[in-house]
Amino acid sequence: MPAQAPAVTVPHGMETCPFCRIREGTLPAHVLYQDEEVLAFLDIYPCAQGHTLVVPRRHAASLAECPPATVAALFHAAVRLAGAIQEGLGAPGFNLGVNDGRAAGQEVPHVHVHVIPRYGGEGGGVQRVVKTRGPVQPLAETAAKILAALRR
Ligand code: AMP
Ligand code: ZN
């Protein structure tokens, strides 16, 4: 009987994760930057010319799963890339965005920071990505709930 191949343990979600495949080089991408923590490449369906995604090298679905150093590296790279995108493409502004969780519109379950250059005239800002307005609760009540969670 042939010897059985050793079991390969692939963390759940990584088998077909497109961003893990880009990191491994098995899915082509226009990679703009990489270091030991993060990788950045052009979004395949850009909202604007230069729309870039910055992702941690290590697979994680949510920002909350990333160590603080990885979160810092993600945003450090995002800001640096935003500067290069602005300079290289002549964009006077940019939006940074993270869709964290399905409820927030996350489609690819590998953390990514969107860097979206803005050229002017498109209208809107990140406060307007949610088109509906929730019922307005007293701010003090809302703050108390969040502060209680922060203390836990
Ligand atoms: P979301 O999960 O909604 O925050 O966004 C996922 C983003 O990933 C979308 O903007 C897609 O266009 C982008 N995307 C999906 N697959 C690829 C890929 N293979 N290469 C580059 N960008 C991708
Ligand atoms: Zn992944």
CATH superfamily of 18-151: HIT-like (3.30.428.10)
- Please give the residue that has the higher pLDDT: either 123 or 33: 33
Residue 3 identity (one-letter amino acid): A
pLDDT in tens, 120-138: 999 889 988 888 877 888 9
Amino acid 108 reads: V
- Residue 11's CB is within 10 A of a number of other CB atoms, namely 11
Smallest CA-to-CA distance from 31 within 53, 12, 10 is with 53
The whole-angstrom distance between residue 123's C-alpha and the CA centroid of its chain comes to 22
Residue type, 59: H
Indicate the domain borders of the chain.
18-151
pLDDT reading at 83 higher than 50: yes
- Tell me how far the alpha carbon of residue 125 is from its chain's centroid: 17
> Nearest Cα to 16, choosing from 101, 113, 110?
110
Residue pair 50/30 in contact by the 8 Å Cβ criterion = no
Closest ligand to the CA of 19: 2
Answer yes or no: 112 catalytic.
yes
Q: Say whether pLDDT at 1 is over 50.
A: no
Confirm or reject: Cβ of 105 under 6 Å from ligand 1. Answer: yes
Q: What is the mean pLDDT of the chain?
A: 91
pLDDT digits (tens, 9 = 90+) for 94-108: 999 999 999 999 999
Give CA separation, 21 vs 29, 128, 137, 150, in Å. 10, 32, 43, 36
Which ligand approaches the C-alpha of residue 23 most closely? 2
User: What is the distance in A from the centroid of ligand 1 to the CA of 3?
Assistant: 40
Pair 124, 148: CB distance under 8 Å: no
For the chain, percent of residues with pLDDT exceeding 90: 78
Nearest CA to ligand 1 atom 12: 45
